């Protein structure tokens, strides 16, 4: 009877230990899957800066062409060409066309950057603050606890980067709001100047001087707007590209390496048997 009871007790302990081992292994392997998925999500967070560079080149090209046109027009005005005469290759109508192109570009850029800002805010809101609660006590020195701690650091770092990106994009979108107002005022000023010239019906010296004065005023208005475009759009886009290239992607690449290295040290068997050893006495 005693022998039978002892054999049953031993078998029960072994079966329970086997069940604990099986459950722990299943739990730990299940935990590594979302860790790997989040690691893949971290890798996909490295943003391509090529497209941002293309946007800046478009803006810079527009500023360059407008400035070149303005310089050519100024030379013609200084040589006595009637800036406000219709049908001329470089005249008021051409300058007005350029401002309409800028108006369209600013509108499209505003849609683009507002959309990017909202996307980054959503990513920031959806991105976890941490992987989860860390296992306590028996896992204090375990490889899985170390991996989760490292992953939590990486998750927090990327969340911070999303927030920084959102702030830069918000600034650009805000600048585009102002530029939309500025381009309207610039167009309004050009039309006012042309209307004043149209009221000058004679070819007296005073009228000719007024035409030249208004022509130079039109060119200065557009040149001033190009300066605003450069400071409020081109430079912030350049800064966004620089930050993503030098800070954002580098930080994420560092996080990926750190996390990947921690996963290499991850040992399910060692952690599982650590748990079994630490609990076997209290369980039985």
Q: What is the pTM of this model?
A: 0.72
Of 33-37, 86-90, 178-182, the poorest mean pLDDT is in 33-37
Which has more confidence, 222 or 152? 222
CA distance 114 to 75: 40
Residues near 148 by beta carbon (within 8 Å), at least 6 away in sequence: 35, 131, 132, 134, 135
The model's pLDDT over 8-29, given as tens digits with 9 standing for 90+, comes to 445 445 554 555 556 656 666 6
Render pLDDT for 190-210 as a digit per residue (tens, 0 to 9). Answer: 999 999 988 887 778 888 889
Alpha-helix residue ranges (DSSP H) falling in the chain: 2-44, 50-78, 92-126, 143-198, 205-229, 235-243, 249-264, 268-283
For residue 242, the model assigns a pLDDT of 82
Q: How far apart are CA 229 and CA 112, in angstroms?
A: 16
Contact 92, 190 (CB under 8 A): yes
Residue in 234, 215, 229, 217 with CA at minimum distance from that of residue 182: 229
pLDDT one-digit tens code per residue, 220-246: 999 999 999 999 999 998 888 887 777
């Amino acid at each position: 009877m005693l022998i039978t009871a002892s054999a049953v007790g031993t078998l029960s302990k072994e079966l329970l230990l086997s069940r604990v081992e099986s459950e722990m292994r299943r739990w730990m392997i299940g935990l590594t899957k979302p860790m790997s998925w989040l690691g893949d999500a971290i890798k996909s967070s490295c943003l391509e800066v090529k497209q941002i560079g293309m946007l800046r080149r478009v803006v810079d090209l527009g500023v360059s062409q407008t400035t070149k046109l303005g310089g050519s027009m100024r030379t013609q005005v200084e040589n006595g060409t009637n800036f406000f005469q219709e049908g001329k290759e470089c005249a008021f109508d051409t300058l007005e066309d350029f401002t309409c192109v800028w108006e369209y570009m600013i509108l499209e850029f505003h849609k683009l950057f507002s959309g990017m800002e909202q996307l980054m805010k959503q990513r920031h809101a959806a991105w976890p603050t941490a992987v989860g609660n860390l296992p306590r006590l028996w896992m204090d020195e375990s490889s899985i606890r170390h991996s989760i701690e490292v992953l939590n650091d990486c998750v927090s770092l990327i969340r911070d980067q999303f927030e920084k990106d959102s702030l830069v994009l918000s600034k650009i979108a805000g600048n585009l709001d102002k530029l939309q107002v500025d381009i309207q005022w610039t167009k309004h000023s050009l039309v006012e100047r042309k209307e004043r010239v149209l009221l000058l019906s004679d070819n007296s010296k005073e009228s000719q001087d007024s035409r030249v004065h208004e022509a130079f005023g039109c060119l200065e208005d557009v040149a001033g707007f190009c300066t605003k475009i450069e400071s409020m759009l081109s430079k912030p886009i350049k800064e966004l590209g620089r930050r993503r290239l030098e800070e954002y992607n580098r930080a994420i690449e560092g996080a990926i390496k750190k996390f990947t290295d921690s996963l290499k040290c991850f040992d399910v068997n060692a952690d599982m048997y650590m748990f079994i050893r630490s609990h076997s006495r209290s369980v039985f």
